[in-house]
């Protein structure tokens, strides 16, 4: 996706980016699931904190 931004005399970056993109495509579902779980727990904690402010 970002290969066109790299100069052509740096092939090592291209070698690094290609496996990262393949790994990113495989891990995309897991990463988005983790982010949604973190977001859910953050919202739940925020609501809990608002409802129990007198405890803190």
Query: What pLDDT, on a 0 to 100 scale, did the predictor assign at position 49?
Result: 85
C-alpha to C-alpha distance for 29 and 51, rounded to whole angstroms: 33
Query: What pLDDT, on a 0 to 100 scale, did the predictor assign at position 18?
Result: 59
The residues spanned by each domain of the chain are 24-56
Query: What pLDDT, on a 0 to 100 scale, did the predictor assign at position 15?
Result: 58
Query: What pLDDT, on a 0 to 100 scale, did the predictor assign at position 30?
Result: 75
pTM of the model: 0.39
Neighbours of 23 (CB within 10 A): 10
Task: Summarize pLDDT for 1-55 with one digit per residue, the tens.
Answer: 444 454 555 555 555 555 666 666 666 667 777 788 888 888 888 888 888 877 6
Tokens standing for residue 16: 């690094």
């Amino acid at each position: 996706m970002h290969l066109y931004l790299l100069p052509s005399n740096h092939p090592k970056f291209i070698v690094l980016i290609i496996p990262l993109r393949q790994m990113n495509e495989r891990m995309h579902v897991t990463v988005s699931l983790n982010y949604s779980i973190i977001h859910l727990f953050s919202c739940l904690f925020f609501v809990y904190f608002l409802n129990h402010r007198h405890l803190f």
